[in-house]
Structure 1
Amino acid sequence: MKRHSVRSNIIKMLIVFMCAITIVFAWLFYREKQDETRRIKDDEYGQYIVELNEVKQLYDSGSTDADEKLDAVMNELREQKIDTGKSGLRNIVIMYIVVLCVVIVLFLYIYVCVLRPFDELEDYASHLAAGDMDTELKYRRVNMFGSFTWAFDHMRTEIVHARRREQEAIENNKTVIATLSHDIKTPIASIRGYAEALVMNMDATQERRERYASVIMKKCDEVTSITNDMFIHSLHDLDRLVVKSDKVEIKPLLEQILSDIGLGMDIVVNGDITEAVLEHSDSGRVVQVIENILSNASKYARDTEISIVTECISPEKLPRNVHVSGADMVYRLSIKDHGTGIPDKDMPFIYEKFYRGENSGDEPGAGLGLFIVHYLMDRMGGDVELVNHADGLEAVLYFAARKVC
């Protein structure tokens, strides 16, 4: 109803506008016609006076040509009046036809280029408001709404993509929550079982009780790791993760990590741990990164030796695909297992959130470990590289550093 009201108002305004133009034009034409008639009369007035004087002189002289001359003058006046009237009528008719054609053409132009596209846009907006995002809006270059039509349809496609991404995010959230919920049940069940064994004093030997306590502590660490994953997953904006920019002495930190996490892992440090001071790093995040790599090595390469090599290298020796910002020296930390590695087809996607490769099997996890490692290394100005070897997978961490002499 509103659309028809707008259209009728536009038509009324157009008619009034064109009528006003027609009236003004007709008035101007009338004035021009009057001026033309006046000019004709002024130009011929003298001629008629001369001819009438000639007729008078003929009458005064008693000439027989006086009547003929008078008839000729009267005929000229009569013909001039008829010609002038016909010319004015013809001009008025032509002007009316021209104005009528202009009005019709202008109305058709406004309808085709303004009213009809506007109606289509309004219909399209109604479809969008009703939730119909599949209908495309045709783009026509011939109307003044062409660019706006394209922008409007582009907005629709962006809304469709945004809704699709939102739905995918919701599905990912459901998957991750279900996975993490499942993963957390296993260590909790183990903790409860060993705790009940301790409470019931099923084995009185000190050695067995210590082993139970050790298992409980290990399972608690697993629960902590899973809850950390849930916390990080709950952050829609990873920039909320605080990463400090400090100097970190890597040797004592790495020794402490190996001491804490080494229980149950066959870790071998090849050579001495290289001393260096990491630049632009956060000690807590460095621990998180290294523990993630070691945890993956232990999970996917069970019962194999994990070797660690540390060294300081110059930035010129970095691989082409590795980038370390603001570094005069680079600290290279290599962690290598002897498992099956990562399938080549999974390598391009290993740093994506929630991605789990074919080698994950039934191992618990949410596909966040390497994603977090890559993100934190990037925030600290470093980089991470995964390299498949014939005898296992090598994870290499690169930090901006200053070597300690």
Structure 2
Amino acid sequence: MKIKKLTALAITIFLIGMSIILYLFNNTENIRIDTVAVNDITQSLVKQWNDLDKLDLPCLEYGLDYVVLDNKGNFIGSTREGLNENINSAVNNRDTIVDILLDTKVLGKLIIYNNTNELWKQHRDNLLITSLLIVTFTTLFCLAYGMYIDRTIFRPFRKLQAFARHVAAGELDMPLEMDEGNIFGAFTESFDLMREELAKARENERKASQSKKELVASLSHDIKTPVASIKAVSEIMIVKSNSEEDKKQLGIINSKADQINILINNIFNATLEELQELKVIVGEIWSTELYDLIKNADYNNRAIVSIIPECIVSVDSLRLLQVIENIISNSYKYADTSINIIGNIKGQYLELEFKDYGLGISSEEAPLLFNKFYRGKNSIRKSGTGLGLYISKYLMNKMQGDIEYKATDIGFALILKLRIS
């Protein structure tokens, strides 16, 4: 409502200013000659023509300035100095020129001075002053009006723009501050209510996600106990059984229990990693201890380990064992061949290459190998979650190392890079 009133006031001021300028143009003082006075002056000059040099010029009471010339154009007299004293200058000034006649005889010329230039100069000065005043006032009003518009419209919109950036960036704790009486009050209040509701929804989503992760972690941990019991019982039964067929079936049960255990560990570790609770404690060990870690992971005795160079590496033995178990179990599952393990020192890293001789993977799949939940084409009809190599990558990075895929002509190869202390 205020903006409408101010706009109407601005238009009114503009129209008034234009009206004043038009009035000044249309009311320019016109120069009009009093013919009665001119005739009276002419007749008076005729009466005292021969005595003009002795007498004062007549009819001064009319207030007209004039010059008298003889019939040859010679100057006889004037009401004051500074008037046009010849025909040419009088014509240039647009003065009124009248013949002084005695019957039909021309005695001389009467030049009535026309002060047009002075009047126009005065008129222009008045017009200029009036225009400057109108322009100055209008400019000041526009500046004040612009400041008001900026304060009441553009500044709130800039605040809304900054507020929208904060909301887009997820900063939902910052309220939208607005001045009291702002014309966008209800609008901005709705935006602030939206922010509060988004903050609540985000917090509820975080709690739900946290609860889900904690549930998955808890279930994964709880399932490990009965699986361990199944594995222990199957191992005892294998030892006590005298039937080869029973031993074979119990061996399958034991192998499946191992697979379930690995899957549970992967899900559990992935959940802990998302909860940022997957602890990695890096220490220093001799590279000779890697033989034992590989042996513990190679429960089918298919790994062939070449000489590993002696050095001290920075690792978490427990987490490194998880990585090695994952690599070897994947080789069992997808290749079912022997595994060659070769150690080399390259720069600041001890590199362990694990190579099997299965079908391997295509070059298109290689960049996706360490993505979460990704499973290759050769995983069809194979159990798994696609978390093993993802978790292994995460653990190796935590130990300041890495795990990489190596392209080979035959089989599949992974390289563990262990940082040398």
Specify the alignment match of 1:25 in structure 2. none
SS in 2 for 1:280: strand
Specify the alignment match of 1:358 in structure 2. 377
* 1:339 partner amino acid: G
2:309–2:345 CA contact under 8 A, matched in 1 = no
Specify the alignment match of 2:392 in structure 1. 373
Specify the alignment match of 2:332 in structure 1. 298
Distance in 2 of aligned mates of 1:376 and 1:189: 25
Specify the alignment match of 2:263 in structure 1. 226
2:413 to 383, 388, 394: 394
Post-superposition shift, 1:223? 3.1
Distance in 2 of aligned mates of 1:331 and 1:123: 56
Post-superposition shift, 1:83? 7.3
Distance in 2 of aligned mates of 1:305 and 1:284: 24
Q: 1:245 to 1:297 in 2, by over 3 A?
A: same
Distance in 2 of aligned mates of 1:231 and 1:300: 23
Determine whether 1:286 maps to 2:320.
Answer: yes
Post-superposition shift, 1:353? 2.0
Specify the alignment match of 1:249 in structure 2. 286
Q: 1:366 to 1:123 in 2, by over 3 A?
A: same
Specify the alignment match of 1:308 in structure 2. 341
Post-superposition shift, 1:226? 2.1
Q: 1:389 to 1:379 in 2, by over 3 A?
A: same
SS in 1 for 2:299: coil
Q: Which has the larger helix fraction?
A: 1
The within-5 A match list for 1:20-169 is 64-65=55-56, 86=123, 89-91=126-128, 93-95=130-132, 98-99=135-136, 102=139
Distance in 1 of aligned mates of 2:420 and 2:335: 30
Distance in 1 of aligned mates of 2:164 and 2:413: 55
- How well do the aligned residues superpose, as a CA RMSD in angstroms? 5.8
Post-superposition shift, 1:217? 4.8
Distance in 2 of aligned mates of 1:380 and 1:353: 19
Distance in 1 of aligned mates of 2:58 and 2:273: 114
Post-superposition shift, 1:246? 1.2
* 2:341 partner amino acid: I
1:278–1:331 CA contact under 8 A, matched in 2 = no
* Identity among equivalent pairs (%): 24
1:249–1:275 CA contact under 8 A, matched in 2 = no
Q: 1:401 to 1:88 in 2, by over 3 A?
A: closer
1:262 to 274, 287, 298: 298
2:334–2:379 CA contact under 8 A, matched in 1 = yes
2:310 to 276, 279, 282: 276
> Number of paired residues?
293
Distance in 2 of aligned mates of 1:227 and 1:193: 14
2:282–2:314 CA contact under 8 A, matched in 1 = yes
SS in 2 for 1:389: coil
> TM-score, normalised to structure 1's length?
0.52
Could you give the per-residue CA deviations for residues 44-91 of structure 1, whole angstroms, max 9, x where no partner exists? Answer: xxxxxxxxxxxxxxxxxxx74276667669999xx7997797466534
Specify the alignment match of 1:43 in structure 2. none
SS in 1 for 2:365: helix
Post-superposition shift, 1:283? 0.8
Could you give the per-residue CA deviations for residues 21-50 of structure 1, whole angstroms, max 9, x where no partner exists? Answer: x9xxxxxxxxxxxxxxxxxxxxxxxxxxxx
After the TM superposition, which of the residue ranges 364-373 and 248-257 deviates more from structure 2?
248-257
Distance in 2 of aligned mates of 1:229 and 1:336: 22
Post-superposition shift, 1:278? 3.5
Specify the alignment match of 1:205 in structure 2. 241
1:306–1:336 CA contact under 8 A, matched in 2 = yes
* 1:263 partner amino acid: Y
1:387–1:393 CA contact under 8 A, matched in 2 = yes
Distance in 2 of aligned mates of 1:72 and 1:84: 21
Post-superposition shift, 1:299? 1.3
Distance in 1 of aligned mates of 2:163 and 2:404: 52
* 1:281 partner amino acid: V
Distance in 2 of aligned mates of 1:389 and 1:205: 44
2:319–2:395 CA contact under 8 A, matched in 1 = yes
SS in 2 for 1:307: strand
* 1:355 partner amino acid: Y
Specify the alignment match of 2:71 in structure 1. none
Post-superposition shift, 1:110? 7.9
